[in-house]
Each structure stands twice: as structure tokens, then as C-alpha cells.
Amino acid sequence: MSKATLLFVASEVFPFAKSGGLADVAHSLPRALSGEYEVNVVMPLYSFVDREKYNITTMDVALNVSLDGVNYKIELYGCESGGLDYLFIYNSLLCDREFLYGLPERGYNDNALRFGIFNHAVRELLTYKKYEIVHLNDWQSALVSLLIKEDKTIQTKSLFTIHNLAYQGVFDKEVLESIGISKEYFNVNGLEFYGKVNFMKAGIAYADIVTTVSQTYAKEILTPEFGCGLEGFLSYHSNKLNGIVNGIDSKHFSPSDDKALVKPYDSVRGKKLNKKAYLKEIGFKESKKPLFIFIGRFTWQKGLDLLIESLPEIASLQCNIAILGEGEARYHHTLKEIADVHNNIHLDFGYDESKSHRMYAASDFLLMPSVYEPCGLNQLIAMRYGSVPIVHGVGGLKDTVDKKRGIVFLHQSKSSFKKAIVQALKLYENSSRYKKIAQHNMRCDFSWDKSAKKYVKLYNKIREKI
Ligand code: GLC
């Protein structure tokens, strides 16, 4: 029997384009699903995607998208990678940009139209090739669920995943016409949101199933504290809301055969050499002090305010700190100012996959003081590399880290964070206990196996309803 077909839609997919965790999930989840479903992945072919490197070629298919009397030329491209077929949608307005969505502080002014075009092109793709399921991710592909409900020729069922509720794709209501959405959807049960248009609402309202990336976040988003104004709307649709925790690609994040490492290892003892090499790489002296790392986007969500506020005090303790990331300019400035006056803080701007692997391998502790965290992947990667995470107990951090695996602090405050750091230093002094935890973390299963099965169950459930 041939497998059922699934189209996985995302605005970013690693390694082609990445701004955050969505790209990692869009890389690894489809691979984990491919045993059960025939999976295609589709994303925009941004101009910075390296067509040559990935052997991305035209498929000589023209998709027809015409919105508000304007014709948008769409070209379909494709490539094969890791046993999966990837499809790429190219339209000049959508794709010819320096960034995916704009600068971190502010998206491009025409993002509604750009992603409106993308969603319509995906709808066209669903008429060109029949898929049983379409899996949509975040606001950038949420409209597809509405477009296929409207189109009676399409039988595809949809599942919509919220990776981060704070980004909803909210635009002036005037964009509706230009993106070919009828005004009849502009009401509280549809896309209307405080007088504006909200793309995320389309996914929640019209998809057959809605998921988010951890069980705790699925509960949190029903409350005013985490609901970003959609708590009422989500509560109304809560009978189709599910929490499924993310996994990581255990082949890509595998300390025992990771090419980025100086010396791959399969037990916590093997970290020593990697720590030595990394400290040398950043110009630090070899040290018995614990190494704390922070890797991630410099945004409010990731707890940058708390990190910055606490850094000078942490740096005054017996430890080294290494930070890698990029994001809002205000955080770059302050971090640099602090790093300049503390010789045990190393700061690297940018995003460097291979360096991040070396940091995980070298680190003793990972700092993750996020204000909120739908799932979080870095704590999973850190544990896989035998590091001990120090996390704020929210969302996916709460679901994946407990006392046996790391240090969880309950209040996102300077005093709680500091207490957790002091606790970490004490734990580190008790070398046998520290090693036991780190070793236990290396042995935990953070692969997609269990969670992919949960998605398959949901896909099958909505297919049965056809
Ligand atoms: C977003 C969330 C993060 C999650 C990722 C993948 O980046 O902020 O918590 O792990 O999406 O789902």
C-alpha cells in the first residue's frame, strides 16, 4: 500500500534559511515523519538561498496567483535532500530580500502581501498535486487553512502548529483585498483582531487540528499572561488544541560523531578535551572553573533583560561565560559594554552552527532564562552534549527539564536566577553528582520518535473524518 501524502509548509527550513527554532523543526520533523507518510516540504525560495549548493532546480511548473486584479508570477523549484523532496516557491516580491521577514525590530511593510502570495501559491500547489494532509506552521502559512476550506475542489485536511504565539502576523485591515481574502472573514470569529487583520487567527479558526510545541505551553496560552490577546479565542477552540513537545535531530546533534568537534565523545569524560580546545579558541586560559553558555536570539523572549541585569554579578563568581547570538541592536550594545569590562565573559555576535556545537560540547551549564518558551530546543541539545541546563520553569522548559536533569527556577527575577547560578556552582563542586546528572542527560532520548508518532495519530484522525 502506498503511503498517504503530506505537505509540510514553513517559511524557514534549515539548512536553506533559518531565523529561529521553526527552521530546525521544519528540518527534522518531516524526516521523522517520512516512515509513515510521503512527505514534501515547501518554503519560499529567498534570494539568499544557495541554489547551487543544494542543487535546487526549476520544475518548469508555473502556478497561477492573481490577487485583486494583479498577476503574481510564481515559479516552482525543487531539490532532494536527506531522502525528502523539497519544493520552493519563487516570486520576486516574496523572495528578493536581504532578510526573511525584515530586521528583528520591525518586519517589512509588505509582509502581508508577501506571505499572502506564498499562501495562495501553496493553495495552488494543493490543486496541482493531491496531498491528504497539509501541515502549516506559524502565521506565515496560516491562511492556507482558510483558502482550502473555501476551495471545494481541495480535499486536503490541515493541521496548524503554533511555534510562538507572540508573532501573529497582524496588519491593517486594508491589506485584505490585496491578498484576496473576502471581507466576510473580517469578524471576531474570523481574522479580525482589534480592528486589524490577524493571520494567526486563520490557522486557529480554520485548521482541522491546532497544535503547539509543548503541553505546558498549550495550557499557558489559554491564560492572559501567555495568550498574547488570543487566550479567549484559543479557549473557544481548545477542543482541537494539542501540545506535542519538539524533538531534535539526533544525527545532527550527536556528540559521538560530530564533525564540528575537536574530539567527538560518547561519555561525559570526553567533554574535557573539548572544553580545553574551546577555551583556547576564544583566548581563555585553561580553567577548572565551570563554563556557562548562552546561545540564542537576543530578544526579550529569551530573557535578555534578566541575563544582562544579572551578568556582572554572575561574572564576579568563579566561572567563565560564553555568549553566542544576534538580535536586537540595543542588546548588542549592552552586552558588548558588559563583556568589555569582564575578562571572563566571551561574546560572539552572529549565528554559527559549527561554533555552537563546540560550545555545547565544552559547556558545563547552559543558561536559558526565557520569559516564556513554547518549547525551546537549546536545552535539549545541551543535554545531549552532557551539559546541565539552568532554565526558567515555563512552557517546554518545564516539560523537558526537571531536578534530575538540571536547575529550574520559578520566578523570572534576578534573585531567583542568581540563586540558581549559586546552586549550579555548588553542584559543580560536587563533581560526582554533577557528572551523574550530565551523564544521565546524555543518555536521555530527545529524538523525534515519540512526538512524530503523536503527529501521525492526529493526521490519521483528521483523515478519517474525510
Ligand atoms: C519558536 C519558539 C521555541 C520553539 C521553536 C520551535 O522559536 O520560541 O520555543 O522551540 O519555535 O518550535
Kindly tell me the burial class for residue 9, based on how many C-beta atoms sit within 10 Å of its own C-beta (0-12, 13-18, 19 or more): buried
Pair 327, 428 in one domain: yes
Give the residue numbers spanning the domain of 53.
4-247+449-463
Residue 252 within a domain: no
Residue 253 within a domain: no
- CATH number at 221 reads 3.40.50.2000
pLDDT at res. 286? 80
Residue pair 361/271 in contact (Cβ under 8 Å)? The answer is yes
Pair 344, 219 in one domain: no
Pair 305, 189 in one domain: no
Pair 325, 418 in one domain: yes
Residues in the chain, overall count: 466
Amino acid (one-letter) located at 186? F
Residue of minimum CA distance from atom 5 in ligand 1: 21
Residue 90 within a domain: yes
Instruction: Give me the helices (H) in 221-303, please.
Output: 231-236, 271-281
Pair 232, 378 in one domain: no
Q: Distance from the CA of 59 to the center of ligand 1, in angstroms?
A: 32
Pair 327, 425 in one domain: yes
What are the beta bridge partners of residue 75? 62, 90
Residue 210 within a domain: yes
Pair 224, 316 in one domain: no
Ligand 1 within 6 A of CB of 369: no
Pair 455, 373 in one domain: no
Residue pair 327/307 in contact (Cβ under 8 Å)? The answer is no
Residue 161 within a domain: yes
Pair 294, 439 in one domain: yes
Residue 255 within a domain: no
Closest atom, ligand 1, to C-alpha of 396: 9
Closest atom, ligand 1, to C-alpha of 22: 6
Pair 208, 340 in one domain: no
Pair 32, 17 in one domain: yes
Residue 332 within a domain: yes
Closest atom, ligand 1, to C-alpha of 20: 7
Pair 136, 41 in one domain: yes
Residue of minimum CA distance from atom 10 in ligand 1: 376
Residue 263 within a domain: no
Q: Distance from the CA of 328 to the center of ligand 1, in angstroms?
A: 18
Closest atom, ligand 1, to C-alpha of 377: 10
How would you write the pLDDT of the chain (466 residues) with one tens digit per residue? 789 999 999 999 999 999 999 999 999 999 999 999 999 999 999 999 999 999 999 999 989 899 999 999 999 999 999 999 999 999 999 999 999 999 877 899 999 999 999 999 999 999 999 999 999 999 999 999 999 999 999 999 999 999 999 999 999 999 999 999 999 999 999 999 999 999 999 999 999 999 999 999 999 999 999 999 999 999 999 999 999 999 999 999 999 999 999 999 999 999 999 999 999 999 999 889 999 999 999 999 999 999 999 999 999 999 999 999 999 999 999 999 999 999 999 999 998 999 999 999 999 999 999 999 999 999 999 999 999 999 999 999 999 999 999 999 999 999 999 999 999 999 999 999 999 999 999 999 999 999 999 999 999 999 987 5
Number of domains in the chain: 2
